[in-house]
Structure 1
Amino acid sequence: MPEATYTAPPTTPAVPPVAPSISEAFITISATEFRAMQHWGLLPPPQPDIHGPSQPIALVKETIPAEETTKANVPI
């Protein structure tokens, strides 16, 4: 009867491990550190996600002129 022969697995993996991309790397910093880094100019200021007004801005001729405003005395 033939004897079984043992073969060792290859020492290097067939597929190299995948390193995370730079965009996936992250660190955790405190709010104080974040504000200090912004103050020193190391980080840009936060950008709001506001794209603009949801309704068009009124034209100058459609606004109320200053002469037509109403003033009232309010007792304190």
Structure 2
Amino acid sequence: MPQAASTDPPATPPVPPVVPPSSKDFITISGSEFRGMVLLFRTLNATHDALFRKMRDIRDQQDRHFIILDQHTAILRQIQQHLGLAPLQTDIPGPSELRVQAEETIPPTEIIIADVPPQATHEAAPEPSCPLEDPAL
């Protein structure tokens, strides 16, 4: 009995033929250089892992601080409400939001000038002169 030939394309694309590398693609290194490179790779890998663990720990600690900040803010609002004070309108971002540095939140062109009279809280003592100075000079 004759078998029917399938006309469907193959399920996976054909693998391109392997081209043998040219001699320019190879370098020769000594065994000690190779061992040094392997040791360096292992050191870099361990350092990379340690840095990412430290970053994760810092992020976790930061999240805990944000939770405490949110709790303190809620307590402050309850106290303000109990005392009949208007709550401050501060927009404090949560743990998942990006927090902006304080320098970036203050517009650089805003200058506040106030006339504040000096208040004497204590008598100013005269500064002693330096013993090395000659007053005649």
Same fold (TM over 0.5): no
Please give the TM-score of this superposition, normalised by the length of structure 1. 0.21
Higher helix share: 2
Question: Which one scores higher on RCO, CA 8 angstroms, separation ≥ 6?
Answer: 2
Decide which structure has the larger Cα Rg and report it: 2
